[in-house]
Structure 1
Amino acid sequence: MSGQDQVEKLGLIAGNGRFPFLLLDAARANGLQVVVAAINEETDPEMNDRAAADSGIRVHWLSLGELSKLIDTLRGEGITRAVMAGQVKHKQIFSSIRPDWRLAKLLLSLRTRNTDMLLGAIAKVLGDEGIELISSTQYLEPLLAKAGVLTRRQPDGEELKDIAYGRTVAQAIATYDLGQTVVVAAQACVAVEAMEGTDATISRAGELFRTLDSGGETTLRRALTVVKVAKPNQDMRFDVPVVGVATIEAMKAAGATCLAVEAERTLMFDPEAILKTADEAGISIIAK
């Protein structure tokens, strides 16, 4: 048996954004050979460049909906452990895909068509095929938000009230897999995340406030607090709460001044850049 054959392999089912690349780097740093199942509609083409520069990375491209091809690819590579990393847009999952027979059968079997139900069913199918789906944070624990105020500025009294109210609302909607983020002002819910994602929700809240301003007086304080939570029974194998620099940029544009996340259950991509951007904008970040 060659040295290459003895190297432990990890399957990486890659969605969009930087998450797959962060996990890829972490897995390679742990000495794993990585076989990437890249999604045509989602994964950054940069993945090909990474594979070209590193013989320990192999990339297979497939379309969203090709569940049988995914299984055949991973099994053909001898994969017994895999991880999902990177978002697949919710609207893609339930509208744009052309499912193969295996995924079509799975979709028809779902009681409700939400993301958790679908991904949980896919995880079970993979498990039945001898492929264990592991936590997406397994190699990224240093990026999980630590408890406490993470920025120079502490939340003020009004922001703390908004956080307390926002957590109650966000945890309620997360139970139904509607989203994990709410935007609050003066203990009033301005925007609730649905299929559009966190950053788009923040932008929508900002647009609403600008509309209110143009229409005259509003009793709401001119500052928004963003609250992001994990689901009550968060499956850390997929759909883990994530924030990045783009989140802070969206907050700046919307006029949001505070971000609250769940400690040890939220991934912060490039935390140094996140905190630097937040400090420069006077945005407070707290994890609890």
Structure 2
Amino acid sequence: MTRTLGIIAGGGSFPITVASTAKERGERVVGVGFASDTDPSFQAHCDNFSWLKLGQLGRLIDFFTANHVTHVVMAGPINKPKALDLRPDWRAARLLFSIKARGDDVLLRALTTELEREGLTVVAPHLYSPDLLAPEGVLTKRKPTQSEREDVEFAWTLSQSLGQFDIGQCLVVREKIVLAVEAIEGTDAAIRRGGQLGGPGAVVVKRPKPTQDKRLDLPAFGLKTLQSMAEVGATCLAFEAGGCIFFEQREALDFANAHGIALLGLSPGA
């Protein structure tokens, strides 16, 4: 029996990548998207597609069920400030009332539980794009300096602690001083804020939260991330190898090398 993959598509090209790989594997693809986030061209990669509004959980489940979806992936970011204006249907409202906090991990875990209650199996999007998982080691021509490595070590430990509170997938530090902790604004805005406050020489760290379900919302970075770093003079990006998605790898590495930015992939236990 042919697997039918349901894709909940956020922004960027990742949903298209997942859909294309699923098609190559002989899977049927059913997608939903949001006008505020999803690339309109995504629907051309689906066998069936529906536009939804944020908060229409009941309609999403009904659409997937009617199309015999068996497995679900969540791919691509959702604009978090815009998500504050969602108008939940009764099913989404019931879910929201059932949880005590509204951080990313809590919301996504609750959504996953709701989908699996309907017999839908939630799988990781990187299973359809394993080559996008960030590798270990120094990826650039320039290695991090001793000072940068000390800042990385400081931020690495701190992010582990902050992650328990469902914040801080990205930290910006300089000379062991925290310049920015990513919240609702997203990685690029956090980098720009930290760099503007601390000046050139900042270090950026990206890693999953310690209790994060890695099927859901892995930290991601790419060319745009490095452009934001260059804009404010940040000089080093460290990330968890195998725990982050690395988009536009060739273009990003070329840009990093041209601007003297060091990229360092660390094992989870580093």
What's the TM-score bracket when you normalise by the shorter of the two chains?
over 0.9
Among 95, 98, 109, the alignment partner of 1:106 is 95
Q: Distance in 1 between matches of 2:13 and 2:204?
A: 22
1:89-141 Cα distance to aligned partner (Å, 9 max, x none):
23333x21000000011101102121211111111111111111111211111
Deviations 1:203-257 (A, max 9, x none): 11122235xxxxxxxxxxx401101111112212211010111001000001011
Match of 1:255 among 220, 223, 233: 233
Shift of 1:21: 1.8
Aligned match of 2:121:
132
Aligned residues of 1:68 and 1:102 also touching (Cα < 8 A): yes
Greater Rg by CA: 1
* Structure 1 CA distance for aligned equivalents of residues 22 and 164 of structure 2: 31
Q: Does 1:208 align with 2:197?
A: yes
Q: 2:132 & 2:38 partners in 1: Cα distance?
A: 21
Tell whether the 8 Å contact from 1:242 to 1:266 is kept in structure 2 after alignment: yes
Pair 1:230 & 2:225 matched: no
Report how many aligned residue pairs link the two structures. Answer: 266
SS at match of 1:201: helix
Which residue among 134, 148, 154 is the counterpart of 2:143? 154
Equivalent pairs: percent with the same residue?
A: 39
SS in 1 for 2:63: helix
CA distance in 2, matches of 1:260, 1:191: 15
Q: Does structure 1 residue 35 correspond to structure 2 residue 30? A: yes
Distance in 1 of aligned mates of 2:236 and 2:261: 5
Residue pair 1:171, 1:180 contacting (<8 A) in 2 also = no
Aligned to 2:259: 281
Task: Return the offset for 1:29.
Answer: 2.4
Distance 2:244 2:261 in 1: 18
Deviates more, 1:187-196 or 1:84-93: 84-93
Deviation at 1:62, TM superposition (A): 0.7
Q: Aligned partners of 1:176, 1:258: CA distance in 2, in Å?
A: 25
| Equivalent in the alignment of 1:217 | none
What SS does the corresponding residue of 1:256 show, helix, strand or coil? coil
TM-score of the aligned structures, taking structure 1 as reference length:
0.89
Residue 73 of structure 1 corresponds to: 63
Distance in 1 between the 2:120 and 2:3 partners? 14
Residues 142-197 of structure 1: CA distance to partner in whole angstroms, max 9, x if unpaired? Answer: 11111110111110111000100111122222211113111111111111111101
Contact 1:40 1:64 in 2 (8 A): no
The runs of 5 or more residues in structure 1 that have no matched partner are 1-5, 211-221
SS of the aligned residue for 1:35 comes to: strand
Which structure 2 residues correspond to residues 38-117 of structure 1 after superposition, within 5 A? 38-48=33-43, 50-51=44-45, 57-93=47-83, 95-117=84-106
Q: What SS does structure 1 have at the residue aligned with 2:124?
A: coil
Q: Secondary structure of 1:74's partner?
A: helix
Runs of 4+ aligned residues of structure 1 deviating over 4 Å after TM superposition are: none
Any stretches of 5+ residues in structure 2 without a counterpart? none
Residues of 1 paired with 2:162 and 2:81: CA distance?
18
- Corresponding residue SS for 1:203: helix
CA contact (8 A) 1:184 1:190 kept: yes
* Residues 179 and 195, structure 1, Cα contact 8 Å, conserved in 2: no
SS of 1:11's partner is strand
